[in-house]
Structure 1
Amino acid sequence: MKIAIFASGNGTNFEVLAKQFQKRELAGELKLLFCDHPDAYVIQRAKKFNIPVETFTVKSCGEKRLYEEKIAHILIENQIDFIILAGYMRVIGQPILAKYEGCIVNLHPAYLPEYPGLHSIERAFADHKKQTGVTVHYIDSGVDSGPIIAQEHVAILPDDTVETLEKRVHDCEHRLYPATLKKILQNRCDK
């Protein structure tokens, strides 16, 4: 099974997953990183693992539909079977969903259905919640609305700052995402 990871930023989750693919702790072959920000640090992380990178923007394609069609073409060309979103900050549209429905998994830094979309950690902190969390879910056409696969709560402590909370959320992501993907990918490879 051939895997693509989509990311938009620093790429800490990408690196955690790339290491596990390299050690064969995750089933399948990590074939491609797609990044929608040509200057994102995740590209450097991919180069460190010798993972091929595709990167371009909606603007460079002229519009979102053409951007998504170009991505879909690259995925098909690379015979990608499964997509992992790891900090990819765009909603997946029909050109990709039509081909990969049920084969795209996302990691979200909140205990969905609370705080879908952007700035989830900051919003939970600002609302003085006692906890937030991490959710792994399948992608559908909505914003963080697809079927939930796994979740874990992360306490918001009285002396937390956004930065300390964010670190604990990321630590949880780095545990929960690989463990969940391990089960999903192994099940798909066993079929």
Structure 2
Amino acid sequence: MSLFPDVVSKNASSIISPPLPDSLPEFDSPLRLGILASGSGSNMEAIAQAIQSGWLQAQIQVVIYNNPQAHVAQRAQQWDIPSMLLNHRHFASREALDEQIIQTLQAYEVDWVIMAGWMRRVTEVLIGAFPRRVLNIHPSLLPSFPGIRAVEQALQAGAKVAGCTVHYVELEVDSGPIVMQAAVPVLPGDTPETLQARIQQQEHRIYPVAIALAATVPPK
């Protein structure tokens, strides 16, 4: 169950995502985040903006990316956040990559691992090193449409509602306990690009909140 279940009106074209709280929990010290990303880094930037505004009490210690062309590296530089390329093609196994990720995260004293468009399956190596401290955001209302191309899956299935989910990472893809969700309508004529853009707006809204909630309320 989500901590903030979505509210859907009788009119499917006006779906209300969960209202954001007026404030987020405060901690004894800022949460130390390590971001894993493979693409543009827009969720990383949304988290950085929430931190800069004082809304989320956290600090991004490092950004790790696996794609040499990933724009997240430029975003990290603009925010003066350390970044490191760990190209998965240079590792003999997923476990070997995760071992290097762990070493990097530990070197930067990371508490929470935040997967923000990380397009690699993680192993028990990483999950075990940060038990219940690895979060992911997925562009569907899980448990519907797990895995790759979730937006395309929703359109092909004729879904009337789509959205995004922040969840704890477990070994099975997109299966961990849900922290928070937000919904958007699927509109007539939607393409994967138009629907993805609306979903991404909600991702940017809820991910900072979900991080604070995860650090406050242990998963069931």
TM superposition score normalised by structure 1: 0.92
What is the identity, as a one-letter code, of the residue corresponding to 1:57? N
Counterpart in 1 of 2:194?
164
TM-superposed deviation, 1:76 = 1.4
Counterpart in 2 of 1:47?
77
Unaligned runs of 5+ in 2: 1-30
Q: CA RMSD in A?
A: 1.4
TM-superposed deviation, 1:183 = 3.0
Question: Please, which moves more after superposition, 89-98 or 175-184?
Answer: 175-184
1:61-100 matches, cutoff 5 A: 61-100=91-130
Q: Is the 8 A contact 2:33 2:111 kept in 1?
A: yes
What is the identity, as a one-letter code, of the residue corresponding to 2:156? A
* SS of residue in 1 equivalent to 2:129: helix
Rounded to whole Å, the distance in 2 between the matches of 1:37 and 1:117 is: 19
**% of aligned pairs identical?**
34
Q: Is the 8 A contact 1:101 1:140 kept in 2?
A: no
Rounded to whole Å, the distance in 1 between the matches of 2:125 and 2:78 is: 30
What is the identity, as a one-letter code, of the residue corresponding to 1:147? P
- Indicate the structure with greater helix content: 1
1:149 aligned to 2:179?
A: yes
TM-superposed deviation, 1:87 = 0.6
Q: Is the 8 A contact 2:179 2:213 kept in 1?
A: no
Q: Is the 8 A contact 1:107 1:134 kept in 2?
A: yes
Counterpart in 2 of 1:10?
40
Counterpart in 2 of 1:59?
89
The alignment of Structure 1 onto Structure 2 pairs a total of residues equal to 187
1:108 aligned to 2:138?
A: yes
Unaligned runs of 5+ in 1: none
User: Residues 17-63 of structure 1, C-alpha deviation per residue, up to 9 Å, x if partnerless?
Assistant: 11122233212221100101122001000000010001122221222
Rounded to whole Å, the distance in 1 between the matches of 2:32 and 2:203 is: 23
What is the identity, as a one-letter code, of the residue corresponding to 1:30? I
* SS of residue in 1 equivalent to 2:121: coil
* SS of residue in 2 equivalent to 1:83: strand
For residue 164 of structure 2, the aligned residue among 97, 115, 134 is: 134
What is the identity, as a one-letter code, of the residue corresponding to 2:183? H
Q: Is the 8 A contact 1:25 1:182 kept in 2?
A: no
